[in-house]
Chain A
Amino acid sequence: DAGVIQSPRHEVTEMGQEVTLRCKPISGHDYLFWYRQTMMRGLELLIYFNNNVPIDDSGMPEDRFSAKMPNASFSTLKIQPSEPRDSAVYFCASSSRGNSPLHFGNGTRLTVT
């Protein structure tokens, strides 16, 4: 199993552009999580899904952020328009059950100039 797969690994974009981050969870995992990692705030939960349904999106910073999970094997996190303060590493993680350990992807390092 390749584990959780995220793409791209690195993204550099200009302020105002749309950014789409992608995640493929481990097959058979029912839960998918998006986290953001910064030096100042550490790892923050943005949103999580159970069986493709968003359960808690209270961590999404503002309306510029949106996340979807159209099927069990794919999720996207979109930022439109992007701003320099969105620069961070974005992690996707999945788990088989709500109380199972999380399996993380390698993350996407986003830089907005």
Chain B
Amino acid sequence: AQRVTQPEKLLSVFKGAPVELKCNYSYSGSPELFWYVQYSRQRLQLLLRHISRESIKGFTADLNKGETSFHLKKPFAQEEDSAMYYCALRGVGTALIFGKGTTLSVSS
């Protein structure tokens, strides 16, 4: 069965501190992994996907198949990064399955 686990409901950091939002998944094949973000009063939107291997707004995420993880990282958090972050997985021929989300709060 497909499953996405985000162990932290809330992550609070100070501005300038490193951020790591954890995501673990369960899937028997080769999944596609994504991070979606929902800023206050905005739509849920794609932040990045593992196949792109790019950095968006300073965030990166590396797929670790051995640990079945896709943690989201940023070396220096900004206040504008405060949002709800969802890790998501898509298997072959299936729809996107989301984790329960992590609220990131960045304070000055």
Interface, chain A (partner B; CB < 8 A): 3, 33, 35, 41-45, 48, 55-56, 91, 93, 98-99, 101-102, 104-107
Contact = CB atoms under 8 A, between A and B. Distances in A.
Given A42-B101, A99-B90, A104 B44 contact: yes
Interface in B6-50: 6, 32, 34, 36, 43-46, 49
A52 to B, nearest CB: 16
Interface of B: 6, 32, 34, 36, 43-46, 49, 86, 90, 93-101
Contact of B96 (A33, A42, A105, A106): A33
Contact of A33 (B45, B95, B99): B95
A104 B32 contact: no
Given A33-B95, A106-B43, 9 more contacts: A42-B6, A42-B86, A42-B98, A43-B98, A45-B96, A45-B97, A48-B95, A56-B95, A107-B43
Contacts of B44: 43, 91, 93, 104
Contact of A3 (B34, B43, B99): B43
A86 B85 CA distance: 23
Contact of A101 (B6, B49, B94, B97): B49
B7 to A, nearest CB: 12
B10 to A, nearest CB: 11
15 contacts: A33-B95, A42-B6, A42-B86, A43-B44, A43-B98, A43-B100, A43-B101, A48-B95, A56-B94, A56-B95, A98-B93, A101-B34, A101-B46, A101-B49, A106-B43
Nearest to B96: A102
Contacts of A104: 43-45
A41 B46 CA distance: 20
A8 B2 CA distance: 32
A91 B34 CA distance: 18
B104 to A, nearest CB: 15
B46 A99 contact: no
B61 to A, nearest CB: 15
A97 B10 CA distance: 33
